[in-house]
Amino acid sequence: MSVKTVNITFSKLGNIKLNLLEVNGELEMLSAGYFLQRYDSGSKPNTIKKDTQAIQHFYRFCIKSGINIHRLISSQSPFSMGQIESYSVFCSIDVKTGEQIGHKHYEQRMRISWAFIKWLWLFYQNRTKNELDKLKAAKMQFSGMEAGFNLYLKAPFKTDKIDKQGLSPELRNKFFNIINPLPENDLNPWKSDKIKWRNYALLLTMVLGGNRKGESLLLKLNHFSLSGRRKYFEILKSGDIDYPRSEAPSVKTLGREVELIDIMADVFEHYISVWRKKFSNADKSMYMFLSARDGQPLSVQTPNAILNELIKKHPEYEGHLSPHRLRNTFHDVLNDALNVQNIGESSLSRKLNKAPIQEYAGGWKRGSEQTHRYPKGSIQREVAQVHQIIQQKILSPTDYANSKRQEEIDEMDAEFQAWANR
């Protein structure tokens, strides 16, 4: 048996597209009823899509375990503690890689699955309203199952947070050469000039602005201030977003303003005034980055697809490049720059001086641990330099002493020159 997700258009609901489950090539009707009820209760299509993916995982477990979910629940028979424990383990694994997933992803799977089971249980329980004994028995069975799920929801497995690194300096430098939109650039993987310029401007917001992909997709023309003494674009933290796609991007961090030097402001100005106009219906949309297919703002999958095209032409980026890796790359560069700015400061002073800047640049709350996790590549390179100094000092003490003596002579010479020039 196969379980997959499909997009279904509901013409009587304003052509809204909902992501539903399909089992063995047929729409799974009970779960479809659940998702429609969720939509009717105010859930957004992209929220329902996440629910569908979690319940797809639940159906895969039932098929793998030989559990007929509808027969089990319709007979008001609960999942046993052993089955719940097995499902907990199944929820902790990535289907594609077999690796352990993050605890938040685990919690999401368990929580959404349990909400669906409760809905399904009550759907069948309503049929026993007129049979008091069966109703009492069903409620007792439900209580035991609920206790089991609550146990694994409250005490999920813990995983170490994986800190993804930005691009290495070598890959980073080549990346900027690749995305250069000039016609003579043979490294660029995209075909038309307008796509090259759109992708160039989009990717710059991530790698030099530190944006999440959702923040970049939600940028509008009026978020850019490209004239006058101060040039910048603004990321707004908003609630409900009227985005003309079935799945809307989100802004997960605090709002902020990203300062632009003249050259970068000129890139955005050139894209807006020359290339953006070439997209169909460009004059009918305020969004910065548009699709060449329909002139609507880009889907949430498009930034990943853009980078996948780059990886096909430059396979050395395989496993090292994604929209979020570009954000990591930005924080690597920021950390390097702040270290230079605070050179000579103690470790504590450097940390205290850097934190407010890193927090604002990342859109994080004060005291966020993300300031240590995101620039991992930069931190590792700092450690590598210290390793080299230690090894040089231990294994070649004479060379090290000579180099330190030369540093002291150079410093004394610089101080003398500064005094002489006063």
pLDDT at residue number 16: 85
3-state secondary structure of 220: strand
Residue 73 clears pLDDT 90, i.e. is over it: no
Could you state, in order of their start, the residue ranges of all structural domains in the chain?
Answer: 3-154, 169-323, 382-422
SS3 297: strand
Q: Is residue 299 pLDDT above 80, yes or no?
A: yes
Say which CATH topology domain 169-323 has.
hpI Integrase; Chain A (1.10.443)
pLDDT digit string (tens) for 371-417?
A: 665 665 655 665 556 555 555 555 665 555 555 555 654 555 555 45
Number of other CB atoms surrounding residue 232 within 10 Å: 16
Averaged pLDDT for residues 52-57? 92
Beta-strand pair 26-27/16-23: antiparallel
Dihedral angle sign, alpha carbons of residues 313, 314, 319, 323: negative
Percent of all residues in the chain with a pLDDT value above 90, rounded to a whole number: 35
pLDDT value, residue 409: 47
pLDDT tens sequence across 139-160 = 888 888 888 888 888 655 555 5
Distance separating alpha carbons of residues 201 and 156, to the nearest angstrom: 41
pTM: 0.62
Whole-number pLDDT of residue 399? 57
- pLDDT (0 to 100) of residue 106: 87
